[in-house]
A and B are shown apart, each in its own frame.
Chain A
Amino acid sequence: MKEQIFNEEILNSLAEGVLTVDKNFKINFFNRAAEQITGYNKSEVVGQLCKHVFKCELCQLRCPIGMVLESGTDIYDHNSSIEMKAGSRKPIRLNAAILKNSNNEPVGGVISFRDLSELMKLKSSIISPTNYLGMVGHSKPMQEIFSLIQEIADCEANVLIHGESGTGKELVANAIQATSLRKDKPFLKVNCSVFPLNLLASELFGHVKGAFTDAVKDRPGRFELANGGTIFLDEVAEMPLQTQIQLLRVLQEGTFERVGESVTRKTDVRVISATNLNLKKALDENKLREDLFYRLNVIPINVPPLRERKEDIPYLVEHFIRDYSKIYKKDVRDIDDNALEVFMNYPWPGNVRELENAIEYLVVRSKNGKNISINNLPPSFRANTIVNSVEASKEIQKDNTSQLVKLLEKHHWNKTKVAEELGVGRTTLWRMMKNLSLEEKE
């Protein structure tokens, strides 16, 4: 008994909220920090089912302790949110582990959690001229997007984000949600292009047991789970026409039915959608319903491709070097001028995502305490950009010769094929070969 009181005192002295559940998932311990974070008294929650009290974002889909039971691996630093006694939601970062008896059988679970709301507030207040809620942009079009997001913070209208793949549409959606009136409510994301045609409706609107072969139990859809909050529909123009009609009804009336059920349910969800398709073409080809388009496109936001905002490249490079240096625990300081010049001249067809991947590659390959140099660039990248800078080409000449020879040998010195793989014209390839003093094989 004394030992138990002693242990409770230790747990009560922690700044992290700690709760334990028994094997029936009923709360049997709740420390003082957990009381402060959630607003519940210990006496109110002990004996209650954990999922009934906190309605953690994960409880709806997968219980953290259940995940540990299934996988056998503890969960660390998982971001989620829980419902407070007052009804609002709070962002938390949680750890989950299983408690076992002397026979090594699970008899309970422990969840420790930290309140992230102060941190989130701080993060959202860090809005520098070039960094807006995780989006980096100094250019005029990006600054305009940042201003627009601020302007629409108080309105609940639907937003349609348009932009090429890799331009950061999801980051724009995150920023819109984080500054909106619904920022403390659920925010769910669905990529409409990854679900088979018949499963998207079930994912969005839910299904009842037996609605189709794999429907072994009733399952709520994303629109039900996001009630009161926001949903982000990525690749919305890829949605099948039948599902577009159902979505239109949710937008117009706020009602829907689960697949296989006739009960009409209500929901109140703000829709932020995104697409990289040419919308005019999608409308002309009847792939996207016009009435749905107008409902989604109340506030249109166009995210420009990176090639149209090259002045952002140095800021993005700096941002990603900082991020990936932390991730890979490297002391990479900067990028040298030649490498940056190559970056500025590159067309970036994969946009910011491609730039991010390139920086990750460079950070991984770089040595501690050194700047990223042109020698570290991925081979295909160097070949692509070799003609853009005489100085740069001199520096990498030695390394590129062997790379280009390998490529030529791979294609049996077929210059058309090599030029194709490099993404350059035959003349450019000829010039590259000449620069590297590579003789043409007869």
Chain B
Amino acid sequence: MSEMLGNQYFLSRNYSKAASIFLKVYSQYPQNLSVRKKIIICFIQTGEMDKAFDFFYELVKEDIAVIINTNPVADDCPCTELVEKYGMILPYEENSKDLKLLLAMLWLYCDANKSLEYFKQLSLLNREEKKYNDVIIMIEKHLSSNKIKTN
């Protein structure tokens, strides 16, 4: 299966078809970070939140910059339109863990600070989930190292 065809489906916002192709590419080339980054968006869009978080967690651990350095315009990443769309639902579903997790993951593609806020909220809601804390630490580490660089 070709990554390029998956990219085409991704660009035309056909996430279920894109996901099935990207997963096959991933099974062949697990080191392909760009594909893994897109799989997360596909799973979010197909409502498979647990799978999305599994991929998200592994990718953040491996190289958080792959997600943080996304250029939504140049990469045609739908993250900005999605955070806007799902953000509008949040006031009505303020206790939804899935919705918070979805926004936490999506915001990392466009604004790491916002993502951090959501992961902190999630961590308070689910203290036993260690992975949220791990993500928080990794985002903070990335942000502080970037601060040092800019200083």
Contact = CB atoms under 8 A, between A and B. Distances in A.
Contacts of B7: 23-25
Interface in B1-37: 2-5, 7-9, 11-16, 34
Interface in A56-87: 62-63, 65-66, 69-70
B2 A69 contact: yes
B11 A65 contact: no
Contacts of B74: 47-49
A23 B10 CA distance: 12
B54 interface: no
A216 B3 contact: no
B5 A70 contact: yes
B140 interface: no
Contacts of A65: 8
A51 interface: yes
A218 to B, nearest CB: 7
Best-surrounded residue of B4, B12, B16, B74 (most CB of chain A within 10 A):
B4
Contact of B13 (A70, A106, A217): A217
B62 interface: no
A410 B13 CA distance: 56
Contact of B8 (A69, A105, A107): A69
A105 to B, nearest CB: 6
Best-surrounded residue of B3, B11, B74, B76 (most CB of chain A within 10 A):
B11
Contacts of A70: 5
A52 interface: yes
B15 A23 contact: no
Nearest to A69: B5
Contacts of A47: 74
B13 A218 contact: yes
| Secondary structure class of chain B's binding surface, majority of residues | helix
B3 A217 contact: no
B13 to A, nearest CB: 5
The range of chain B's interface size is 10 to 19
Given A47-B74, A49-B74, A52-B76, A217 B5 contact: no
B76 A66 contact: no
A106 B25 CA distance: 12
A25 B4 CA distance: 8
B16 to A, nearest CB: 6
A217 B15 contact: yes
Contacts of A23: 2-4, 7
A105 B29 CA distance: 13
A216 B11 contact: no
Contacts of B5: 66, 69-70, 106
B4 A216 contact: no
A47 to B, nearest CB: 7
Given A49-B76, A52-B76, A216-B16, A105 B2 contact: yes
A414 B105 CA distance: 77
Nearest to A66: B8
A182 B5 CA distance: 35
A63 B4 contact: no
B151 to A, nearest CB: 30
A47 B2 CA distance: 21
Interface string A97-128: 01000000111110000000000000000000
25 contacts: A23-B2, A23-B4, A23-B7, A24-B34, A24-B75, A25-B7, A25-B8, A25-B11, A49-B76, A51-B76, A63-B8, A63-B11, A65-B8, A66-B5, A66-B8, A69-B2, A98-B4, A105-B4, A106-B5, A216-B14, A216-B16, A217-B13, A217-B14, A217-B15, A217-B45
Can you list the 9 inter-chain pairs with the closest CB atoms, starting with the nearest? A66-B8, A23-B4, A106-B4, A69-B5, A106-B2, A217-B13, A49-B76, A24-B7, A105-B2
Interface of A: 23-25, 47-49, 51-52, 62-63, 65-66, 69-70, 98, 105-109, 216-218
Given A24-B75, A52-B76, A106-B5, 13 more contacts: A24-B34, A49-B11, A51-B76, A63-B8, A65-B8, A66-B8, A66-B9, A66-B12, A69-B5, A217-B14, A217-B15, A217-B45, A218-B13
